[in-house]
Structure 1
Amino acid sequence: LESTITYDPDTLKITGFKTNTESETYQYSQSWTGEEPGQVMPNRIVTGQDDLDNVDTVTGATVTSKSLIRAAKLALEYLAYLGGNNE
């Protein structure tokens, strides 16, 4: 999934998260609740970035949701790396 993540360079916190889930097939899952992961997950990720392991996924779109959480984790790891190299 292609995603764009923005961050605050002073705090190294994620401030924005955009993604396109058009090519995903979660809507074919019988357990899908109708929530669009591309719309609800970015806010959940931004507000829950201090504990991404406990961010709620979208029922029936778990793989898509977890992919977005993984992207955020990678971004935060990179930001931590950048922060460590600025000393």
Structure 2
Amino acid sequence: MVRTHSNQLYTGISTDPKRRLRQHTGELAGGAKALRGKGPLQLVFQQPFPDRASASKAEYQIKQLTKKEKEQLISAFKASL
């Protein structure tokens, strides 16, 4: 998950989250249109999955969460570091 300057959360999947964040910030070509002009961006949550199918299922489930539930997920992730 990526947090925008206006505190919005964007959820997506990638095989290389750091590269994908660089794309979203405009350093590399290929970022999501939804994030253009919303920087600075911050990677706030990531979770590895064994394959794309399971990552896509988790992405869908996360997108169904409320903002409050997503913030709780992020807080739990940070606490585990």
TM-score, L = length of structure 1: 0.27
Decide which structure has greater helix share.
1
More strand by share: 1
Quick check: which has more Rg, 1 or 2?
1
TM-score if structure 2 supplies the norm length? 0.29
